[in-house]
Amino acid sequence: MDVKMNKDTKELLSIISGIVGEEPELLSTRDNEICLKLSETGFEDITPVLAERKFSLIGLFCAEAFENTDGFTLFYAFKQAGKAPILILVREAGKEKRVSSVAGIFPSASWFEREIRDGFGLDFAGALDTRRLFLHECYPEGFHPLQKAFKNGPVSPVEVPGKEYKFRQVKGEGVYQIPVGPVHAGIIEPGHFRFSVIGEPIFSLEIRLFYKHRGIEKLAEGKSPLECVALAEAVSGDESMANATGFCMAVEQVCGISVPERAERLRAIMLELERIYSLLGDLAGMAVDVGFALVASPFSILREEVFRQNEKLTGSRFLRGITVPGGLKKDIPDPALKDLPAFLEKFSRAFESAYNRAISSSSLIDRFATTGVIKKELVAPLNLTGPLARASGFPADTRLDRPYGAYRDFAPEPSVRKRGDVLSRFEVKADEIRASVNLILRLTENLPQGPVFAENREEAENIGQNSGKNGSLGITGYSLALVEAARGQNLHWIYLKNGLVDRYKVRTASFCNWQAIEHAVIGNIVPDFPLINKSLNLSYAGTDL
């Protein structure tokens, strides 16, 4: 166990000890992160205090037979705004599989707790919502696919569900409901939106997702880290690079692997290219949803050009198959890298032209301004992150608050707006495209030569490949990594046992950000919903794992 602590971590540990009146069990510390175990009384005492001190619950997940314990272990990850360390509180649920809910204190816990109930069968006493989350009616009762006892394989669906999913009922004179989805027109993943309206204005929306559960976390169980990179890349197609990087960072932290500087710089370049093409899709989509194809087309064309640049650099339009634990699978040729500044210079001119055309349209501004407002007060309780939060006056950015890789030396220019409406999100995303271009130019300047894979190459390549399956060799440990994807903060937690993945938890920004849409639509009219939805551009796949 690494017991090195910086000043902030020591201060946090001291504060917690003073509040709960007991000495917490220090499980691990690393890189502005502290993992503690408290008594059940201590846990229940500290959680309301953390809420008062403006901590957000950024993750809640479960593992079975963790560190040779019986039953189930819960991990609560908290973080304050800014550069404060991450606090992980470990809580034993044991074989009884019942603990108290914290959703009344931390609203972001509601989906987390429902997810754990479905996956592991735990019960959260006093929970605000006990409905299933990702296990829809077709799944049998008592089915919990993340338990060790469940072996992956075909599941026989229930022909006649025993219970109906109960949507929130809103009653009153003149109230009527509009159900939308889960099947939508065009090529789009399924999601159900149930509006309650009086006349045209929306005064309630409930969303239901998780129609395409893929079992990614269960698939990772028992595999080597190298085998799991492809699973991380498949979490959400337009976050392939971010999720591969987050997964690899967690593995590298567990194994003590140092990534060479050139690989760190190249990873950051690819992460920023991914941010650019993702945000270009957002800008184009927002224009399409107000019927402004003339504005959308240039953004779509530029997005295609970035895809082609990605393929030129890596062989993959979505930057897949290059990131591995320890660095990169292959180097990027210098001729391709040298062409990048010229491409970005031409790109910037075309982008500014497209942006100016959009922002000079009074009809576009009329549709964007004051539409779909997300209040700043919602950001911390719901753990909202990314451009969504920054457009609502909350400047959090993992690259700045918890810098990793090349971001330790190359910080992006932040962009913040205060109105929290669609127009603010449009402006922030445009600013972030500009910032990513500038950051890539800085990263490519004087790019160091050298290896793109860790010096302890043999150790990195052999994690779980030839060890662990005999139960006697391989690394055991756990670690959490955060990355800033285009949509916001993605969380990756890995627990290796004898060199193989025993538990892999991934939480994308979309998982938390989806809950903001129920607030953003209030007071708007139904025809504005597609625009509000597109301005958030949340991932269905990245939520349903």
**pLDDT tens profile 313-360:** 999 999 999 999 999 999 999 999 999 999 999 999 999 999 999 999
Return the SS3 of 346: helix
CB 405 within 8 A of CB 268: yes
Ranking 171-175, 239-243, 366-370, 504-508 by mean pLDDT, the lowest is 171-175
Nearest to 216 by CA among 145, 124, 317, 305: 145
Ranking 5-19, 43-57, 424-438, 500-514 by mean pLDDT, the lowest is 5-19
Ranking 131-140, 181-190, 293-302 by mean pLDDT, the lowest is 181-190
- pLDDT of res. 32: 84
The Cβ-side half-sphere exposure at 163, using a 13 Å CA radius, reads 11
| Region of residue 140 (left: phi > 0; alpha: psi -120 to 50; beta: else) | beta
Nearest to 433 by CA among 410, 413, 458, 404: 413
Beta strands in 350-476 (DSSP E): none
Query: Following DSSP, what letter does each residue of 470-521 receive, concatenated?
Result: TSSSS--EEEEEEEEETTEEEEEEEEEETTEEEEEEEE-HHHHHGGGHHHHT
Average pLDDT, the chain: 92
SS (H, E, C) 87-102: EEEEEEEECCCEEECC
- pLDDT of res. 464: 45
Decide if pLDDT at 460 tops 80.
no
Would you place residue 4 in the very low, low, confident or very high pLDDT band (cuts 50, 70, 90)?
low
**pLDDT tens profile 217-265:** 999 999 999 999 999 999 999 999 999 999 999 999 999 999 999 999 9
**pLDDT tens profile 369-422:** 999 999 999 999 999 999 999 999 999 999 999 999 999 999 999 999 999 999
CB 503 within 8 A of CB 225: no
Would you place residue 472 in the very low, low, confident or very high pLDDT band (cuts 50, 70, 90)?
very low
Nearest to 79 by CA among 108, 53, 56, 112: 56
- pLDDT of res. 468: 41
CB 374 within 8 A of CB 521: no
- pLDDT of res. 424: 98
- pLDDT of res. 459: 54
What mean pLDDT is predicted for residues 467-488?
A: 78
What mean pLDDT is predicted for residues 451-456?
A: 88
